[in-house]
Structure 1
């Protein structure tokens, strides 16, 4: 179930799937990120998700107006992983808060693999 707000004009509901799509789209726009992979992928980085499936690489947990987000990403070879992860955290937090008004209190980046880009 998503966060819901009542206004004079009606009800606004933001689902966890919508939040996951926002977070995934923000993450893949960051420098150093090759793509997202499905959460729980254990067989290696065989499947990088396309633009329509970005929410499958994100897990969202809502607690009232607070949101916790976990991302599963593949990074480019040769980048500073800590810096890229920090940039992803800040970008995702900013985009979620700007677009929804909810507070992203936690953004976790799980680096599942590294890929060489030619």
Structure 2
């Protein structure tokens, strides 16, 4: 075998290891606001859900969170003495160590612009979650499940007054 033939053959793993530069420094973990030299901070999914739910409710034009079935269930549970309002309703989260994605389901007020409200929801959720948690929000998906009409408020009142009579 000539030298030119030997150099064209692939190297064995032992040969490649011997020729590779030696690493004397151990691999360092990537540091950020949640991962410091003094320790790591982990955030539960429910924390992100609640922050996103509160942020979405603050946007003008949002009547409620979730779909109509979720609203009916929440209305029942809120009547129980000592129960808490579910601020995470209508919000699902996929969260990693440094990033999160948020999906929200909302019911809009009649007359509100779907485009404007959904953009407001995105902006408010991203600002709120990133500021409070240090996580990067990579996407916010908005699902408009219903529109609340003004006469929807009148129907239950008329039904209640006929029940009392």
TM-score (norm 1): 0.80
- Shifted more, 13-22 versus 43-52: the winner is 43-52
Per the alignment, residue 162 of structure 2 pairs with: none
CA contact (8 A) 1:69 1:108 kept: yes
- In the TM superposition, what are the counterparts of 1:1-118 in structure 2 within 5 Å? 5=35, 8=38, 11-37=40-66, 41=67, 46-47=72-73, 52-117=85-150
Structure 2 stretches lacking a partner, 5+ long? 1-33, 79-83, 154-165
> Residue 109 and residue 95 in structure 1: after superposition, are their counterparts in 2 closer, same or farther (change >3 A)?
same
| CA RMSD after TM alignment | 2.5
Distance 2:49 2:60 in 1: 19
Q: Which has the higher contact order (CA 8 A, sep 6+)?
A: 1
CA deviation profile, 1:76-114 (whole Å, cap 9, x unmatched): 000111111011001101100011110000000111111
Q: Count residues with an aligned counterpart.
A: 111
User: When you count strand as a share of all residues, which structure comes out higher?
Assistant: 1
User: When you count helix as a share of all residues, which structure comes out higher?
Assistant: 2
CA contact (8 A) 2:74 2:86 kept: no
TM-score (norm 2): 0.59
